[in-house]
Structure 1
Amino acid sequence: MAPKDKPLTGKIDASRIKMMEVPRPEQGLIEGFKALGDASCVVSDVLDELGITGVLGASLYRPTIAGRCIVGPALTVRNIVQREHPYETARNKVNKMAEFEAHNLALPGDVIVIDGVVGISNMGGISAQTGKRQGEAGAIISGAIRDVAHSRSVDYPVWATEITPVTGKWRIQTVEINGDIDMSGVRVSPGDIVIADDTGVCFVPISRAAEVLRAATRKAQLEQEKCKVIDTGIPVYEVTRFQTDTAHKQ
């Protein structure tokens, strides 16, 4: 593996990499969010209550592997469209994609988050396999991906807005790694906590992550209590009253 103290290739100027190392979460944060299971709904409720914008639905960011739930720090990438015509860049083999620089910087458990280009693949099978080899939890991509069967075969889950066979190699330019990005109106910074499951994706600012985890843990415990009460067979109107009572406790 290439050393992490310098760029892996010459495809992106080192000055475009904002941080060589992303902020790391406090000990126990990732494990705490993982313990919640498929918690995007609980975390979404908490973000609402705390006034934090950070939720994207799975109807837009569709998971490639059903039933997967990932939690990890965001390692961000920003792509734009190359100026040159793709047939010329293909003929001259001009590839300005550089998400491999992100793979090179990633630590086990990181989530690659790409502010990408629509209609063009921002990640393919080789990239996904590299991410899996690096120990990444998966990727969230605003834009298209391809080689879905390949990424599934190596068990690398991706949440993306589009799927296409059209390669980004000759069409996309990576302009920044580990800077702030925009994911469908949600600002994501390097190190923010990513929670993704079948229902959607939540981005939790790292500065608020401990606060969100505490509230989400309480809410998840109350929901478990509600489910146990429902299983006892109590009347529906009693379930409604129980929900109201526990809501006041929060």
Structure 2
Amino acid sequence: MIEEPPLLRIRRKFPRPSAAQLAAFKAVPTGFLCDAMNGKGALATAIAPLDLAQPAICGPALVAQNGPEEIFATIAALNLIQPGDVVIASVDGWQGGSCAGDQITGMMKNAGAAGFVTDGPMRDREGVLATGLSCWCTGLNPNSPYGKGPGSVGYGAVVGGAQVNSGDIIVADENGVVVVPFARIDEVAGKLAEVKAAEDALEAEVKAGKKSILDLEEMAKEGKVVFDD
């Protein structure tokens, strides 16, 4: 037999990005961030904005690891929120009920959270939107979760196919949620200007009438393309 785990494991002190590091990612489109990380970094497509009109967010992750059907760690995370935090609630992808509703998200907003992200559904859509807290989830389901534990707060979890650790930078907009690992913050920030310049240049060419990217004839001369007609 094994020992019963504690109801909660909490890490109150974890590395957090500086104000200057966070500023480098403010108002940056999620697509630019993925380009700066070799085309990766986004959570699964199922994790989508609760409302397309809600504000984009950027902030440090505060991860609450719940089990399926659980909300205990998310409730505990309310005591640890620092202004600007993005609460990440993992339920191991469970889709059978709600991971949070308007009362929980209302308390997150009162505590200064910038947003909420979960790999499960939410409920009380109208009430959640009224709180003004930007949320990303997999959909809506009115079933209730349980608050029994065990769970952990301040560590990490796999959410939407990606490892998310407390202290990582979360950027989320109408296109989805992107995780910038804490160890890569400065590296990724350093690539953003180059990514933006390349995107701006291509956008200008498209607006000027550009119709394609590949020169198929030239590639054929190099043996990279074969025309069978």
Give the TM-score taking structure 2 as reference length.
Answer: 0.81
1:69 is aligned to 56
Select the residue among 12, 19, 23 that pairs with 1:27.
19
User: C-alpha offsets along residues 136-185 of structure 1, whole Å, 9 cap, x if unaligned?
Assistant: 111110112111111101111111113100011x3663511111201132
2:224 is aligned to none
> Residue 54 of structure 1 contacts residue 187 of structure 1 at CA under 8 Å; is this kept in 2?
no
Higher helix fraction: Structure 1 or Structure 2? 1
RMSD: 2.5
Select the residue among 175, 187, 195 that pairs with 1:219.
195
Post-superposition shift, 1:43?
1.0
Give the 3-state SS of the residue equivalent to 2:62 in structure 1: strand
User: C-alpha offsets along residues 100-137 of structure 1, whole Å, 9 cap, x if unaligned?
Assistant: 32122111110001111321211111110111111111
> Residue 79 of structure 1 contacts residue 172 of structure 1 at CA under 8 Å; is this kept in 2?
no
Post-superposition shift, 1:81?
4.0
> Residue 81 of structure 1 contacts residue 172 of structure 1 at CA under 8 Å; is this kept in 2?
no
Report percent identity of matched pairs.
Answer: 26
1:120 is aligned to 97
> Residue 108 of structure 1 contacts residue 137 of structure 1 at CA under 8 Å; is this kept in 2?
yes
1:191 is aligned to 167
- Asked if 1:44 corresponds to 2:44, the answer is no
- Asked if 1:102 corresponds to 2:77, the answer is yes
Unaligned segments of structure 2, at least 5 residues: 216-229
2:9 is aligned to 16
Unaligned segments of structure 1, at least 5 residues: 1-11, 83-94, 242-250
Partner Cα separation in structure 2 for residue 185 and residue 171 of structure 1: 25
Partner Cα separation in structure 1 for residue 110 and residue 74 of structure 2: 14
User: C-alpha offsets along residues 70-96 of structure 1, whole Å, 9 cap, x if unaligned?
Assistant: 1111000111147xxxxxxxxxxxx97
Give the TM-score taking structure 1 as reference length.
Answer: 0.74
- Asked if 1:167 corresponds to 2:144, the answer is yes
- Asked if 1:78 corresponds to 2:53, the answer is no
Given the superposition, is the C-alpha separation of residues 131 and 54 from structure 1 closer, same or farther in structure 2, using an over 3 Å criterion? same
Partner Cα separation in structure 1 for residue 43 and residue 25 of structure 2: 17
Q: Which amino acid aligns with 2:202?
A: K
Task: State the number of aligned residues.
Answer: 208
